[in-house]
């Protein structure tokens, strides 16, 4: 009996019933068969060995696709588990789960021996041997009773727990490769020999199934690529990212610190505070030019405000509470309700709109301690929030102005970015009509401006759709920072009104807007983007004065005073060290300018200038170096 197979381009071919995915790939081309790792059978991803029993839509999954890469990495996780079992013994290793993650995979195992970097190298060597054996990877479907029997016999309690938690109607499958087998939904590569390039990266502790009441297992992270060149490129990227780690640089450059006395809450050191102040002042000036008014709202407000705004329903598990005069108060997780109250403070005419109010507002959200990550994931941070209260007919023009503002500010930092339109989430509030109107408004702005964007279904805020800006840093990593959110809900919740031309009251529309997002996170991201070598205008120290000996310290202080009076941030290295040592230290501190001061400089009232990235600039008068530095600062170079 023959069946009809429909290919992605719409072509229909006839094959004998029971033809496998691999045989379909081979019939199309030998090259496709060679590159195939799986197939999609009516949209469901399956192994190459899967027989096709009825008329179907078939797509061949190749290694150069995202699906193919994920299958490749998941198969490498199984390869690693097999190698560990071989080295440490079948019964000494209890297997947990081995999923794929972004850029790689991990496997959680229960083993008494604490694993080290040297152990990972031994596991890699055993993995390489298994790839040489080119063991077939074969799927078998088993009954629940059989699966329980298999994993009871092999003494795998964690696998038995997983089986017990599967739905009654779940299809249970086991994948075999040589002597090794594992409970898995699949699909997998057809054999271990298809795995060419991999690297085990590190090992850490992880609670079984992410529950701190469960046993602590060892989690081994790894990555894998179809080609060695791709792996080498990725490992180089990881090394570069490690060098740029903001936590390391923040400590080395004395920008910020963390303390056990306030987990997840950054302390800004003087140099870090200088950068943050420059970021805020830059944003303030841009907003001043665009008719924003700056405000400040309380850190803590009565709980009824959060219930009224809807934040209670969406944030209560991540909020901090206290009692004041026997009334429940909450530290603000968002600035929005405070701005609604400011708008409501007085009567507004349609002639006043749009009203644009901004705030560098400190917010608090409780994050699990295991999720904290330097400045990238904290429990308190500053948002550069603004809320624009507009007439319905002003929506598109105002959103266009915000896009121009964000684009201008990102260009100053040299950032490329991508845009997403995030639509209505499941936990939204408000009517279908208002949501449709809001989504259409955002889409019109993007379409009318010819902006490329992708739609991110269901990722909007609970009160409205949004446009998100994803910055690409120096390593091409993506960071979601800027956002524009359209909100018809909060004006309703807070009964906001303005008086129209006819003397009647109407609801304004609110546009929520942030450029940096979290200033703290933006600072962490900038630190990594610039690898700590901040552009001159942001650098905490513009110039370091390096007297060649103690004899020229007094002259150095005279130069320092002149530069500081010109608004230049200066430090002096007065230590009795050799000049070469002082220069190396200043380079490690990534200072933009080093000004060497010796006998010639003192006699001529000059400095010998060195610039980061350019080297020796030669002798310059104090006036000329001041003009050069201030010119670069003014142009935000």
Distance between CA 447 and CA 453 in Å, rounded?
A: 9
Indicate which residue of 78, 387, 529, 602 is catalytic.
387
- Write the DSSP symbol of residue 475: T
Distance between CA 16 and CA 138 in Å, rounded?
A: 22
* Contact status, residue 42 vs residue 56, Cβ threshold 8 Å: yes
560 in active site: no
Torsional sign, CA 233, 236, 242, 246:
negative
385 in active site: yes
Distance between CA 455 and CA 478 in Å, rounded?
A: 16
- Write the DSSP symbol of residue 394: G
383 in active site: yes
**Tokens 């229960």 label which residue?**
110
Indicate which residue of 86, 188, 365, 542 is catalytic.
365
- Residue ranges of the alpha helices (H) in 154-302? 157-164, 228-243, 246-252, 270-289
C-alpha of 12 from chain center: 43
* Backbone Cα Rg of the chain: 31
Indicate which residue of 271, 424, 470, 512 is catalytic.
512
Distance between CA 200 and CA 121 in Å, rounded?
A: 8
**Tokens 């249970």 label which residue?**
172
The pairing of strands 300-302 and 478-487 is unpaired
Indicate which residue of 466, 529, 542, 610 is catalytic.
466
Distant-in-sequence, close-in-space partners of 309: CB < 8 Å, separation ≥ 6: 334, 336, 337, 340, 490, 493, 494
Instruction: Name the phi and psi angles at 451, rounded to 5.
Output: -85, 130
Indicate which residue of 78, 246, 336, 602 is catalytic.
336
> Six-digit token pair at 297?
């709202």
Distant-in-sequence, close-in-space partners of 544: CB < 8 Å, separation ≥ 6: 570, 571, 572, 573, 586, 589, 591, 593, 594, 595
In angstroms, how far is the first alpha carbon of the chain from the final one?
A: 72
- DSSP structure string for 304-320: HHHHHHTHHHHHGGG--
Which of 244, 280, 247 shows the shortest CA–CA distance to 530?
A: 244
Distance between CA 471 and CA 217 in Å, rounded?
A: 36
466 in active site: yes
Indicate which residue of 383, 394, 485, 489 is catalytic.
383
92 in active site: no
Q: Which residues are catalytic?
A: 336, 365, 383, 385, 387, 466, 512
């Amino acid at each position: 009996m023959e069946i009809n197979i429909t290919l992605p381009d719409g072509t229909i071919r006839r094959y004998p019933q029971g033809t496998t995915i691999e045989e379909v790939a081979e019939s199309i081309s030998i090259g496709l068969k060679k590159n195939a790792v799986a197939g999609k059978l009516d949209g469901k991803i399956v192994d190459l060995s899967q027989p096709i029993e009825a008329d179907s839509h078939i797509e061949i999954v190749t290694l150069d696709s995202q699906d193919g890469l994920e299958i490749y990495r998941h198969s490498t996780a199984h390869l690693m588990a097999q190698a560990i079992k071989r080295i440490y013994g079948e019964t000494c290793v209890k297997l947990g789960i081995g999923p794929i993650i972004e850029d790689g995979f991990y496997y959680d195992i229960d083993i008494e021996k604490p694993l080290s970097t040297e152990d990972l190298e031994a596991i890699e060597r055993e993995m390489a041997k298994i790839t040489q054996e080119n063991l077939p990877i074969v799927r078998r479907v088993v009954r629940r009773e059989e699966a329980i029997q298999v994993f009871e016999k092999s003494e795998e309690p964690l696998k038995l727990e997983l089986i017990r938690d599967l739905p009654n109607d779940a299809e249970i499958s086991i994948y075999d490769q040589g002597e090794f087998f594992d409970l898995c939904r699949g699909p997998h590569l057809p054999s271990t020999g298809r795995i060419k390039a991999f690297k085990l990266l590190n090992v850490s502790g992880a609670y079984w199934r992410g529950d701190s009441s469960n046993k602590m297992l060892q989690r081994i992270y790894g990555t894998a690529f179809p080609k060695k060149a791709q792996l080498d490129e990725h490992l180089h990227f990881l090394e570069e990212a490690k060098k740029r780690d903001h936590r390391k640089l923040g400590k080395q450059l004395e920008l910020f610190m963390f303390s056990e006395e306030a987990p997840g809450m950054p302390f800004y050191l003087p140099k870090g505070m200088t950068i943050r102040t420059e970021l805020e002042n830059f944003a303030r000036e841009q907003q001043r030019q665009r008719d924003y008014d700056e405000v400040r709202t309380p850190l803590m407000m009565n709980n009824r405000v959060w219930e009224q705004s809807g934040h209670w329903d969406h944030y209560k598990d991540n909020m901090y509470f206290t009692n004041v005069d026997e009334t429940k108060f909450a530290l603000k997780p968002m600035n929005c309700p405070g701005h609604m109250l400011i708008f409501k403070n007085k009567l507004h005419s349609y002639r006043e709109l749009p009203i644009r109010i901004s705030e560098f507002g400190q917010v608090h959200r409780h994050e699990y301690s295991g999720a904290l990550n330097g400045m990238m994931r904290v429990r308190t941070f500053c948002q550069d929030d603004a809320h624009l209260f507009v007439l319905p007919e002003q929506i598109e023009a105002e959103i266009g102005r915000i896009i121009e503002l964000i684009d201008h500010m990102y260009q100053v930092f040299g950032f490329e970015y991508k845009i997403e339109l995030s639509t209505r989430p499941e936990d939204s509030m408000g009517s279908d009509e208002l949501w449709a109107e809001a989504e259409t408004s955002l889409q019109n702005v993007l379409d009318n401006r010819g902006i490329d964007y992708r739609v991110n279904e269901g990722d909007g805020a609970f009160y409205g759709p949004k446009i998100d800006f994803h910055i690409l840093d120096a390593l091409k990593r993506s960071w979601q920072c800027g956002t524009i959110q359209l909100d018809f809900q909060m004006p309703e919740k807070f009964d906001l009104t303005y008086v129209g031309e006819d003397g009647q009251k109407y609801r304004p529309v609110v546009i929520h807007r942030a450029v940096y997002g979290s200033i703290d996170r933006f600072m962490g991201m900038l630190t990594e983007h610039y690898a700590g070598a901040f552009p001159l205008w942001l650098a905490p120290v513009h110039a370091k004065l390096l007297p060649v000996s103690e004899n020229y310290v007094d002259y150095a202080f005279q130069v320092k005073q002149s530069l500081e009076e010109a608004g230049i941030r200066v430090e002096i290295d007065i230590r009795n060290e050799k000049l070469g040592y002082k220069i190396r230290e200043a380079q490690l501190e990534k200072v933009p300018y080093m000004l060497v001061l010796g006998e010639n400089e003192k006699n001529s009232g000059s400095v010998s200038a060195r610039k980061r990235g350019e080297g020796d600039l030669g002798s310059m008068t104090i006036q000329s170096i001041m003009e050069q530095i201030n010119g670069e600062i003014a142009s935000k170079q």
